[in-house]
Amino acid sequence: MASAEPRTLHLGTAPVSARSVALAAADPSFHVKLNPDALSLLGRSREVLERAASSGQRVYGLNTLLGSGRDTAVEEKSLLAYQIQVVRYHNSGVGSYLDRPTARAVILARLIGFSRGGSGVRPETAGFYVEMLNRGVLPAIPREGSVGSSDLTQLAAVAAVAIGEGHAFDADGALISGAKALADAGLQPLVLAPGEALALVSANAYSIGAGTLALARLRHLAHLADVALSLSLETIARYDDGGNLSPFSPAIQAAKAVDGQGDSAAAVLHLLRGGWLEDVRPEASVQDPLSFRAAPQTHGAFRSLVTQLGTALEVELNGRGDNPLVDVESGLMVSGGNFQPMQLALTFESLRLALAHVGISSERRIAKLYPPQRAIRARHLQAASSGEGLAAEELPGLLWYSAAGLLAELKFLAAPATLGAPTLSADVEDHSTLAPLALQQLEKSLEAAEKLLVIEALTASYLLLEAAAGQPLGKGTGVVVGRLADVLADSSAAPDLVERARTALRDVLDQVFPETEEGAGLR
């Protein structure tokens, strides 16, 4: 039987979505293809650059040095050697290497940038980046080195491999030379033409590419937050006469049109539909604490920022951030500052603050679940003293403390990251966005927030299973509790328990939030 054709991302001149980039980056079997319209635009863009080069006009990075050397000319006979020098000079990153999905996302984001027509690279150069992706060439890209005014060092690590230098990883994850990586993939090193070295390294492809992967995780976390909240609502209804659904009602949501708020409230009602909380209970508290009652406002604000991130990423993906910019329409090369992704950097900043607020609400709800958990443990101990033995299935007792520690980390990570860059290059580069640092701190916040919400979901599910009440759970929460019951049945240390629950929740969210609803307010 013939093997199935690989999934392919076609790059033309039409806009590319952040979701498509994340999918193609995460799956190494995903192929990329440049459509004829993109190849045509690349050819016309190159023609503009070559006319500028032959005219003798001075163009930044084409026939001048870079940064503080911007007004120093490069002789024509040295232009090809200068391309190698630019790549080597900027291949100066440090720190751990990016993982495979992130490295693929960096290459793909730069390739999409080429296809917008602003870089002036030859069609064959863009085609070489296509082949690196499709043949599994994985450059070793250091994480640190960019101040967010183009991700120069990360992109230079890619360019170094393209020209047969630098380092890459083989299929087994071993570090090898870039030359060997190309040879193993059946590729000859790329010979750069004038102006191409700067085009290869001068873009925000790390912040953009890695940002699309973070966006996918943030969309997942928005749903996870509503799942954890819904489970806690059902839990306080059983143990403390709470669980009032009035704040989630359409009337309340219609009264204040905050982006994302109504989507969060609707997600909670979707999870709880068919369950006993839908019936008005006379014994229910008139109002729950704010961590429950105002959660749609908190989760909604977070969702709104997730949507803003999607917009900011797609502006960068589909825009022309090159400097100098090849403007095909006018036939000119123009210096500018589109490489400064300020909107993207500030969105990364805002999301960390929003995640801290989501975490505050979650930790406060966990605190409300602790007294019944402690009462159950006392009951189990009482039974053990009567000779019945300790219960085999126990939730680790101090997960709340872990949640508190994770919340402290979220608060710490919420501090501004983008204000700290010094001036560089003889005070010519006197402002930077630090978008990569803001993104890396966001990735840490995502990790902490997801663990915190998993602890809430685990704690609530454990208590719901212990209650064993006759009232039915919601159709969505019931599925989640059933899946986490399997995790809880296998007693193990807290780190393994939380990690297995996190994996289970990632899987089950696709079941409780079908595709038609998953994207609500988040695409």
Judged against a pLDDT cut of 80, whether residue 300 lies above it is answered with yes
Is the predicted pLDDT of residue 11 greater than 90, yes or no?
A: yes
pLDDT at 299: 98
8-203 is classed CATH 2.120.10.70: no
**Per-residue pLDDT tens over the stretch 339-389:** 899 999 999 999 999 999 999 999 999 999 998 877 777 777 776 766 665
Residue carrying the six token digits 């819904």: 230
CA 190 vs CA 83, 180, 193, 227: distances in Å: 11, 14, 9, 50
CA-CA distance, 480 to 478, in Å (whole number)? Answer: 5
Parallel, antiparallel or unpaired: strands 142-144 and 167-169? unpaired
Tell me the pLDDT tens digit for each residue of 155-180: 999 999 999 999 999 999 999 999 99
Say yes or no to pLDDT of 1 above 60.
no
| 8 Å CB contact between 517 and 511 | no
Tens digit of pLDDT for each residue in 243-253?
Answer: 999 999 999 99
- As a whole number, mean pLDDT of residues 69-77 equals 73
Rounded average pLDDT over 255-259: 86
Tens digit of each residue's pLDDT (9 = 90 or more) over 478-499: 999 999 999 988 766 778 999 9
> What percentage of the chain carries pLDDT values higher than 70?
92
Alpha-carbon distance of 517 to 523, in angstroms, equals 11
Continuous segment of H or E residues that includes residue 32 = strand 31-34
- Give me the pLDDT at residue 523, please: 38
Locate 63 and state its tokens.
């026939």
Tell me which architecture the domain covering 216-518 has in CATH. Up-down Bundle (1.20)
pLDDT at 388: 61
Q: Is the pLDDT of residue 441 over 70?
A: yes
In angstroms, the CA 371 to CA 238 distance is 13
Residues 205, 155 contacting (CB under 8 angstroms): yes
Which tokens belong to 77?
A: 């006979």
Residues 39-58 pLDDT 10s: 999 999 999 999 998 888 88
The amino acid sitting at 256 is K
Question: Of all residues in the chain, what percent carry a pLDDT higher than 90?
Answer: 73
Greater confidence (78 vs 127) lies with 127
Give per-residue pLDDT as tens, 193-205: 999 999 999 999 9
Binned at pLDDT 50, 70 and 90, residue 61 comes out as confident
Residue 64 has pLDDT above 90, yes or no: no
pLDDT at residue number 495? 80
Q: Is 2's pLDDT higher than 60? A: no
pLDDT of residue 199: 95
Using CB atoms within 10 A of its CB, is residue 163 exposed (0-12), middle (13-18) or buried (19+)?
Answer: buried
Over the chain, what is the mean pLDDT? Answer: 90
**451: nearest Cα among 522, 503, 397, 395:** 503
Distance CA 62, CA 310 (A): 33
Domains of the chain, by residue range, sit at 8-203, 216-518
Reported as a pLDDT band with limits 50, 70 and 90, residue 148 is confident
Q: How far apart (Å, rounded) are the C-alpha atoms in residues 45 and 331?
A: 8
Q: What is the pLDDT, as a whole number, of residue 126?
A: 98
Closest CA to 214 of 85, 78, 102, 83: 102
DSSP string, 221-286: HHHHHHHHHHHHHHHHHHHHS----GGGSHHHHHTS--TTHHHHHHHHHHHHTTSGGGS--TTS-S
